[in-house]
Amino acid sequence: MTINSEINQRVTQLRQQLQKANYAYYVLDDPIMEDAVYDQLYRELDNLETEYPQLITPDSPTQRVGDQPASQFVSVTHNIPLYSLENAFNLEELKAWENRWQRYHEAEDFNSIEYVCELKIDGSALALTYENGLLIRGVTRGDGTTGEEITQNVRTIRSIPLKLNIDNPPPIVEVRGEAFLPLDEFDRINQQREEKGEALFANPRNAAAGTLRQLDPKIVDQRRLQFFAYTLHLEETEIKSQWQSLNYLENSGFLVNPHRQLCQSLDEVADYFKQWETKRKDLPYMTDGVVVKINDYSLQKALGFTQKFPRWAIALKYPAEEAPTLVKDIIVNVGRTGAVTPMAVMEPVHLAGTTVQKATLHNGDRIAQLDIRVGDTVIIRKAGEIIPEVVRVLPELRPPNTEPYEMPDRCPECHSPLIRPPQEAVLRCMNLSCGAILRGSLVHWASRDALDIRGLGEKIVGLLIDNGLVNSIADLYDLTPEKIANLERMGSKSADKLINAIEESKQQPFSRVLYGLGIRYVGSVTANLLTKNFPSIDQLSQASFASLSSVYGVGEEIAQSIIDWFSIEKNVNLIQQLKKVGLQLETSSPQTTTVESSPTPLSGKTFVITGTLPSLKRNEAKALIEKAGGKVTGSISKKTDYLLLGENAGSKLIKAQELGINQLSEADLLTLLQTD
Ligand code: IVH
């Protein structure tokens, strides 16, 4: 079919008008068109494109949201790795960084150094590739070397141009920046999740990362992610500095954070940092610090990178936030292991970007130490994604006639007596039929890292238990759409969906099943280690204390916990039932060598651990290293071979850098242990 030039022209005109309107709305925050007019033009373009599909171009505003969910994401190796940033937690550490890079680069005269200050956006980094001006690929940061290709999802972010707004675009450009959820959008999503009984996102960063990994671009489109561009990789260019790059990005159609500042000295950087410490609380998105970058590209190039970080940039982080609030009540929560955790219920308070109403009080000892009472004004603290905690009580604000809080002696759910096991700080409900334990176990079983049963959140689990449909994990597998269709807020469609999701969980590998059982101390990393050494549940259940505790990462505490778990008849019956319904209780490619006969790959090596590791507790990491023949010491010296580095590392990291000591992440450590 030939298309007359009038139609062709109209399509081009509509596209340009809509692109302009999009840019004005999402990037400039200065709309030029009423919604109704936009909708009308959009519909006209959509209709014309439906009639003449030959006219569709990849940068058309109609092409932002794909129809087909992805079946999975493909791993992509970054051409240039996405480095992380070294952290400084105060101005002294910032100064130490300046001294360090200046020492490293002795030859120069540093009288006229320029730094670019940018706000550190708390989101998820993305790498975008443009070929001849068109967006062809969007990839997550991943581990910095390899990420996941999520182009479909990236296209839904309206502040990311599908086509660069420049004449004669270069053949290839890579743009990096931060995808993030504005705070109001984060609150809206969490509210919706709460209504549906789904687990809440802990913070906007997790929510952004979780959204980017959604397989269905329609869901991503419903959550209004935004993107601030901050890095430009462009070959053969006139651009010679970070400041010029940011302006180039802005002129190409990207949203670049308007609060950037070019500073002529470290004192100016310090002023910027102090100024934003207060002002950032009024921003509609979350920031957790300031990124300081040397402006001049030739100096950046001369300084280069350490194993992990650029030497020419640093993140200056704001401390965890604290706020005062009033304690309205103290309640206790019974978890899936029976542990009884007291919580303070507080007057809602805005803290580190989210509204906080509950804070953990950990255990009875901590309550006694704080002497916290209902009616008290307290200071609560939230650092990153950690659950808020009460730091201290303000006794001067205590009203008269308050009573010290006493921990209950009976389970609030099943009323059986609570026990405090020797050497533990927590009270526990030991009744295996306790409703709270059952509820927690089922929610854990269905959680993402365990059997990943979508739709089986806290609310539905509660309904299944309250209606007598489920008394144990195995009962889930007897459910039918008919049995659950009458539950509150459960239509026949969602009933079918849930039963399908439960059915599909039978295909999940043994390590997830083992993690899902919720054996104390058996997290997903340990479950993985265990299934590698004991390829079936029968081998695991019969394993001796000695053979269990000789596995890397499985210390005596974990070994005893596994033995205790299998000594309970109810648990043995559960395994039999799970076998019958067809869950994976052995690995598909059995591997029979146990670590007892393995060599010790770290023998003679000395480690120091610093910061919070993503999944291992410090004592777990220590046990792992020691099992493999290594030694863990408390401070860095020339004799240290490796620094095992977690989040929020402090002075040990600086010392290690000064001494040029190798740094390892938890993942690096686990790889070392497995491959050797
Ligand atoms: S620059 C080599 N600039 O912070 C350059 N990062 O802790 C590395 N981030 O992975 C990144 N705002 O996800 C840079 N203005 C900004 C940033 C920023 C947020 C994130 C980014 C990075 C992480 C490092």
Q: What is the DSSP string of 193-235?
A: HHHHTPPPPSSHHHHHHHHHT-S-HHHHHHS--EEEEEEEE-S
Q: What is the pLDDT of residue 37?
A: 93
Q: How far apart are CA 131 and CA 164, in angstroms?
A: 10
Q: What is the pLDDT of residue 591?
A: 41
- Which atom of ligand 1 lies at the shortest distance from residue 119's CA? 15
Query: Which residue has the least CA distance to atom 12 on ligand 1?
Result: 120
- What is the mean predicted confidence (pLDDT) over 347-361? 82
Q: What is the pLDDT of residue 312?
A: 97
Q: Strand 631-633: give its sheet, edge to edge.
A: 631-633, 606-610, 642-645, 662-664
Q: How far is ligand 1, taken at its centre, from the CA of residue 621, in Å?
A: 27
pLDDT score of 620 more than 60: yes
Q: What is the pLDDT of residue 170?
A: 94
Residue from 184, 182, 231 nearest 208 by CA: 182
Q: What is the pLDDT of residue 255?
A: 97
pLDDT score of 334 more than 60: yes
List CB contacts of 511: < 8 A, sequence separation 6 or more: 524, 527, 528, 530, 531, 587
Q: Which amino acid is at 666?
A: E
Which H helix or E strand runs over 182?
none
- State the Rg of the chain over Cα: 28
- What is the mean predicted confidence (pLDDT) over 141-150? 92
Q: How far is ligand 1, taken at its centre, from the CA of residue 85, in Å?
A: 7
Q: What is the pLDDT of residue 108?
A: 63
pLDDT score of 493 more than 90: no
The most confident of the ranges 478-492, 609-623, 657-671 is 478-492
Choosing from 20, 95, 120, 638, the catalytic residue is 120
pLDDT over 90 for what percent of the chain? 61
Q: How many CA atoms lie within 13 A of 348 on its CB side?
A: 3
- pLDDT tier at 642, thresholds 50, 70, 90: confident
Q: What is the pLDDT of residue 277?
A: 92
List CB contacts of 278: < 8 A, sequence separation 6 or more: none
Other beta carbons within 10 Å of 363 = 19
Select the more confidently predicted residue: 328 or 420: 328
Mutate to test the pocket of ligand 1, among 101, 121, 228, 316 (most ligand atoms within 8 A of CB): 121
- What is the mean predicted confidence (pLDDT) over 55-69? 91
At 405-455, the pLDDT tens digits run 999 999 999 999 999 888 778 899 988 789 999 999 999 999 988 999 998
pLDDT score of 473 more than 90: yes
Select the more confidently predicted residue: 281 or 507: 507
- State phi, psi for 357 to the nearest 5 degrees: -125, -20
Mutate to test the pocket of ligand 1, among 80, 174, 178, 256 (most ligand atoms within 8 A of CB): 178
What is the Cα 44 distance to its own chain's centre? 41
Q: How far is ligand 1, taken at its centre, from the CA of residue 25, in Å?
A: 25
At 527-547, the pLDDT tens digits run 988 998 999 999 999 999 999
Query: Which residue has the least CA distance to atom 13 on ligand 1?
Result: 125
- What is the mean predicted confidence (pLDDT) over 556-581? 92
Q: How far apart are CA 585 and CA 578, in angstroms?
A: 8
Under 8 Å between Cβ of 232 and 250: no
- Cα dihedral across residues 5, 11, 15, 18: positive or negative: positive
Q: What is the pLDDT of residue 389?
A: 85
167-171, 372-376, 418-422: least confidently modelled range: 418-422
State the angle between helix axes of 183-196 and 204-212 in degrees (0 to 180), rounded to the nearest 10: 70
Residue 240 annotated as catalytic: no
At 211-224, the pLDDT tens digits run 999 999 999 999 99
Q: What is the pLDDT of residue 606?
A: 87
List CB contacts of 139: < 8 A, sequence separation 6 or more: 76, 78, 126, 127, 128, 129, 147, 148, 149, 150
Location of structure tokens 């996941």: 148
- Which atom of ligand 1 lies at the shortest distance from residue 124's CA? 13
Q: Which residues does ligand 1 sit against, CB inside 6 Å?
A: 83-85, 118, 120-121, 125, 141, 178, 230-231, 291, 310, 313, 315
Q: What is the pLDDT of residue 299?
A: 93
Q: How far apart are CA 8 and CA 130, in angstroms?
A: 25
Helices and strands (H and E) in the chain: how many: 24, 22
pLDDT score of 594 more than 50: no
Q: How far apart are CA 263 and CA 316, in angstroms?
A: 15
Q: What is the pLDDT of residue 589?
A: 57
The most confident of the ranges 254-258, 276-280, 432-436 is 254-258
Q: How far is ligand 1, taken at its centre, from the CA of residue 276, in Å?
A: 17
Under 8 Å between Cβ of 280 and 121: no
pLDDT score of 112 more than 50: yes
Q: How far is ligand 1, taken at its centre, from the CA of residue 641, in Å?
A: 28
Location of structure tokens 């709305």: 25
- pLDDT tier at 597, thresholds 50, 70, 90: very low
Q: What is the pLDDT of residue 353?
A: 64
Q: How far apart are CA 647 and CA 650, in angstroms?
A: 9
Q: How far apart are CA 497 and CA 650, in angstroms?
A: 47
What average pLDDT does the chain have?
89
- Which atom of ligand 1 lies at the shortest distance from residue 83's CA? 2
Q: Which residues pair with 538 in a beta bridge?
A: none
Mutate to test the pocket of ligand 1, among 82, 291, 307, 648 (most ligand atoms within 8 A of CB): 291
- What is the mean predicted confidence (pLDDT) over 61-87? 91
- pLDDT tier at 203, thresholds 50, 70, 90: confident
- pLDDT tier at 381, thresholds 50, 70, 90: confident
Q: What is the pLDDT of residue 159?
A: 95
Do the bridges between strand 377-382 and strand 427-429 make them parallel or antiparallel, or are there none, so unpaired? unpaired
Q: What is the pLDDT of residue 320?
A: 72
Query: Which residue has the least CA distance to atom 7 on ligand 1?
Result: 85
Query: Which residue has the least CA distance to atom 10 on ligand 1?
Result: 84
Q: How far is ligand 1, taken at its centre, from the CA of residue 313, in Å?
A: 9
Q: What is the pLDDT of residue 590?
A: 43
pLDDT score of 311 more than 60: yes
pLDDT score of 292 more than 60: yes
Q: Which two tokens stand for residue 222?
A: 């419903």
277-291, 408-422, 603-617: least confidently modelled range: 603-617
pLDDT score of 3 more than 90: no
Q: What is the pLDDT of residue 676?
A: 33
- Cα dihedral across residues 208, 209, 214, 217: positive or negative: positive
Q: How far is ligand 1, taken at its centre, from the CA of residue 412, in Å?
A: 46
Q: How far apart are CA 95 and CA 82, in angstroms?
A: 25
Which H helix or E strand runs over 532?
helix 524-533
Other beta carbons within 10 Å of 292 = 26
Q: How far apart are CA 503 and CA 512, in angstroms?
A: 15
Q: What is the pLDDT of residue 596?
A: 37
Do the bridges between strand 642-645 and strand 662-664 make them parallel or antiparallel, or are there none, so unpaired? parallel
